[in-house]
Structure 1
Amino acid sequence: MKPLKTVARRGAMITAAAASALILASCSAGQVTQTSSQVAAVDGASADSEDGTVAVRDVTIHVTDKGETGVKFTAINQDNSDATHTLKSVTIDGKPVTIKGETAIKSNCTLVADVPSEMKKLVEPKGACVTHVTTSTENPGFAFGGTKEVVFTFDNATVTTSATISTPVLESGMVDRETGAEKHHH
């Protein structure tokens, strides 16, 4: 009987942890706060080239409610030799992604990408070594929460990762939720 109790107790702890995570997440949703302009707490996938010269971070397949589809990512040139590397192509499950913008990445610089509607919200930092591009692709019916293989082909390396399919985070204050006085979840 003892092992059964342990399993049941562990299951209850996981459920409580998951429930409190959901409650905590819903507390700040829709609030105008200092953190309202920050990105989601869940990062996308990350991967490095075999030789470590290029890396991709926060790789997510974005599908907006208007059907706009693309890949959100940050590509980093971490080559110590001062070489400029160029992102040649991106594919999702073997299908090409259209990239608009300059994809050459100077040494110690980054390339930030997302669907056009999300990139419009960002301002390219002046003086920083950051370049913005937009990505778009046909949506064959991606399932939210699922994952697909994303392949980044650079001039010097190929980086493959499995990325989650998600919808961009809603801007704070953009969604009204009904709340009842008797149902306060904080």
Structure 2
Amino acid sequence: MKSLKFAARRGAIISVTALSALALASCSAGQITQTSDKVVAVDGANATTEDEQVAVQDVTILLEPGSATAALKFSAINKGYSSDQVTLEAIDVDGQPVAVAGAPAIGRDQSIIGNSAENLQNLPKQDGRAYLATTLRNDDFAYSGTRPVTFTFSNGTVQVDAPVSASPLKSGKYNRDAQSTDGYTTKAPEAHSH
């Protein structure tokens, strides 16, 4: 027969173990991690038409390395409650027209994704989205600057100040080079001798 002291000690050990496990499990409960609020380094501009039917999001002027052309990255979404279709008629960046030939009409909950032809090739395609390659002349755009962009839709216009950013570099194609004025090079990195 076991003593009551032994049973009490055993019960205390089990209680302490259970409370320790509960305390450890709740240590991170309700805590906000450092990465929970991370956003891209350069946010594109966002706006809606006056009737709030069409939203343009993530409007960014993308510069291509070593190219005299640029691209306009954006998403245009028909958020209307009716089944009315909307057409993207024109885009200009600081008065310069952006090539947008062939933009389809978009119905409710449909969108147009604009980007450079090369970037669009790497995007997974989804139903309800039209993909539109955009090009414009690189009018001495400066990284980290902004330029006014006007979207003309069949139901109104949207104006935003879009940031100028570098197009995402393809993995393995470019290497960092501290001596380069662009900050990167297409040359293979030199082996370092020790």
Measured after TM superposition, the shift of residue 138 of structure 1 is 1.3
Measured after TM superposition, the shift of residue 79 of structure 1 is 0.9
What stretches of structure 1 of length at least 5 have no aligned partner?
1-20, 25-38, 179-186
Distance between the aligned counterparts of 1:147 and 1:86, measured in 2?
26
Distance between the aligned counterparts of 1:57 and 1:104, measured in 2?
18
CA RMSD of aligned residues (A): 2.6
Higher relative contact order (CA 8 A, sep 6+): 1
Q: Which residue of 1 aligns with 2:10?
A: none
Q: Which amino acid aligns with 2:158?
A: V
Q: Which residue of 2 aligns with 1:170?
A: 169
TM-score, length of structure 2 as denominator length: 0.66
Contact 1:113 1:133 in 2 (8 A): yes
Q: Which amino acid aligns with 2:82?
A: S
Q: Which residue of 2 aligns with 1:29?
A: none
Q: Which runs of 4+ in 1 moved over 6 A?
A: none
Contact 1:101 1:132 in 2 (8 A): no
What stretches of structure 2 of length at least 5 have no aligned partner?
1-33, 177-188, 190-194
Distance between the aligned counterparts of 1:106 and 1:41, measured in 2?
32
Distance between the aligned counterparts of 2:46 and 2:168, measured in 1?
19
Q: Which residue of 2 aligns with 1:152?
A: 151
Distance between the aligned counterparts of 2:140 and 2:110, measured in 1?
34
Q: Secondary structure at the match of 1:108?
A: coil
Distance between the aligned counterparts of 2:175 and 2:71, measured in 1?
27
- What is the aligned residue count? 143
Measured after TM superposition, the shift of residue 173 of structure 1 is 4.0
Q: Secondary structure at the match of 1:50?
A: coil
Measured after TM superposition, the shift of residue 43 of structure 1 is 2.5
Q: Which residue of 1 aligns with 2:116?
A: 115
- Mark the CA change 1:171 to 1:120 in structure 2 (over 3 Å): closer, same or farther: same
Distance between the aligned counterparts of 2:171 and 2:137, measured in 1?
28
Q: Secondary structure at the match of 1:99?
A: coil
Q: Which amino acid aligns with 2:73?
A: K
